[in-house]
């Protein structure tokens, strides 16, 4: 149930990430620019991680939206969301999906489902939204997901419950959207989850606080946001994944053990630790497993919730190829 970032542009049998994936069966890894060398080295890396244990297929994740958020650039710069037309989008998304599949990527942490509010620097300022209208955003997201699925790549709608109205950056610290958040920001999720032609693989939950949804906790650690809204109101049966739990919105407020406890009890299936925002806060599988075992012994999390998360993850992974 963990996805971790790691160091290096290649993987050998002596490397930590090889041991974590192949021996400890780490759920997945996330790639950043620091992991991207040549086309051949990246293909070799993903192939090694996906074939080293015949009984375990890890998720190989990347943030590949286009525009500013684009980790892989072998085919040049993909357009940012705000510059795309519906006519051109399908071709762009298919090219992106084809490239990712050829490199061994099987999980794209996109598309963005946030609505475009002009005062937001994180989303609007970087051109990351497909528009202000929920139906329009859902149409672009549908094209994006379809293209990825055509190449056997999983996706994650983000950033629930909506980062479009936020004025701050959760990378830097606490962000409260209670005064600005609009219920329409959930509509793209609602439209796509209810669309029987679509399969929403996963939803990435943000670290924003919206008091009447999340209480006093960030959405990613909130039972209200995940169980009450995503599961009950939206009737979503797929996987929920946290945004990077090492962002300062989380790491400045909670210890590692508290973070794991709250994230699991909130209903997250995949917990993401990017291991790239701070040298001091890097984590490994052994530490995470130890914390989970402590929490189980102390009865602060339930074994049943972990089993349920693993069932949803395994169901999502059925469409993947090695």
168, 175 Cβ separation under 8 angstroms: yes
Contacts with 154 (C-beta within 8 Å, 6 or more apart), sequence order? 59, 106, 107, 108, 148, 201, 202, 316, 317, 319, 320
164, 156 Cβ separation under 8 angstroms: no
pLDDT attached to residue 11:
92
Q: Residue 75: is its pLDDT beyond 60?
A: yes
Percent residues over pLDDT 90 in the chain: 75
The pLDDT tens digits of the residues spanning 28-47 come to: 999 999 999 999 999 999 99
pLDDT attached to residue 185:
93
- In DSSP terms, which residues pair with 259 in a beta bridge? none
Length of the chain measured in residues:
322
316, 201 Cβ separation under 8 angstroms: yes
pLDDT attached to residue 168:
56
Pairing of strands 202-205, 154-160: parallel
Average pLDDT over residues 207-217: 88
The pLDDT tens digits of the residues spanning 302-318 come to: 999 999 999 999 999 99
Q: Residue 248: is its pLDDT beyond 90?
A: no
pLDDT band at 105 (very low <50, low <70, confident <90, very high): very high
The pLDDT tens digits of the residues spanning 124-137 come to: 778 889 999 999 99
Q: Which domains does the chain have, with CATH numbers?
A: 65-319 (3.20.20.300)
Q: Residue 171: is its pLDDT beyond 70?
A: no
Residue tagged 């939950």 (tokens): 205
The pLDDT tens digits of the residues spanning 251-300 come to: 889 999 999 999 999 999 999 999 987 777 899 999 999 999 999 999 99
The pLDDT tens digits of the residues spanning 60-72 come to: 999 998 888 889 9
Q: What value, to the nearest 5°, has the Cα angle with vertex 202 and ends 196 and 207? A: 130
Q: Read off the tokens for 138.
A: 């859902």
pLDDT attached to residue 172:
55
93, 145 Cβ separation under 8 angstroms: no
Stated pTM of the model? 0.94
Cα–Cα dist 2/208, whole Å: 21
Q: Read off the tokens for 306.
A: 């972990």
Q: Read off the tokens for 166.
A: 């936020």
Q: What DSSP string describes 266-285?
A: HT-SBEEE-S-S-STT---H
66, 96 Cβ separation under 8 angstroms: yes
Cα–Cα dist 158/239, whole Å: 12
pLDDT attached to residue 189:
97
């Amino acid at each position: 149930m963990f996805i971790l970032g790691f160091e290096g542009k290649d993987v050998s049998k002596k490397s930590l990430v090889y041991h974590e994936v192949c021996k400890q069966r780490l759920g997945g890894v996330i790639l950043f620019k620091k992991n991207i060398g040549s086309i051949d080295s990246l293909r070799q890396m993903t192939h090694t991680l996906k074939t080293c244990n015949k009984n375990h297929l890890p998720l190989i994740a990347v943030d590949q939206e286009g525009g500013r958020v684009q980790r892989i650039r072998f085919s040049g710069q993909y357009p940012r969301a705000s510059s795309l037309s519906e006519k051109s989008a399908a071709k762009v998304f298919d090219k992106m999906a084809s490239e990712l599949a050829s490199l061994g990527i099987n999980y794209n942490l996109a598309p963005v489902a946030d609505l475009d509010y002009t005062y937001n620097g994180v989303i609007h300022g970087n051109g990351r939204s497909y528009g202000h209208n929920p139906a329009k955003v859902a149409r672009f997201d549908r094209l994006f997901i379809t293209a990825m699925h055509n190449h056997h790549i999983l996706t994650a709608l983000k950033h629930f419950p909506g980062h479009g109205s936020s004025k701050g950056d959760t990378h830097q610290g606490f962000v409260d959207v209670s005064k600005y958040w609009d219920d329409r920001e959930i509509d793209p999720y609602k439209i796509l989850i209810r669309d029987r032609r679509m399969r929403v693989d996963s939803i990435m939950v943000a670290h924003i606080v919206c008091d009447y949804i999340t209480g006093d906790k960030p959405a990613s650690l909130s039972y209200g946001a995940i169980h009450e809204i995503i599961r009950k109101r939206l009737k979503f049966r797929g996987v929920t994944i946290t945004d990077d739990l090492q962002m300062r919105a989380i790491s400045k407020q909670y210890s590692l053990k508290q973070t794991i406890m709250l994230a699991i009890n909130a209903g997250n299936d995949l917990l993401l630790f990017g291991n790239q925002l701070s040298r001091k806060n890097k984590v490994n599988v052994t530490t995470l497993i130890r914390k989970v075992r402590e929490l189980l012994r102390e009865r602060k999390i339930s074994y049943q919730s972990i089993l349920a998360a693993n069932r949803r993850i395994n169901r999502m992974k059925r469409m993947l190829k090695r």
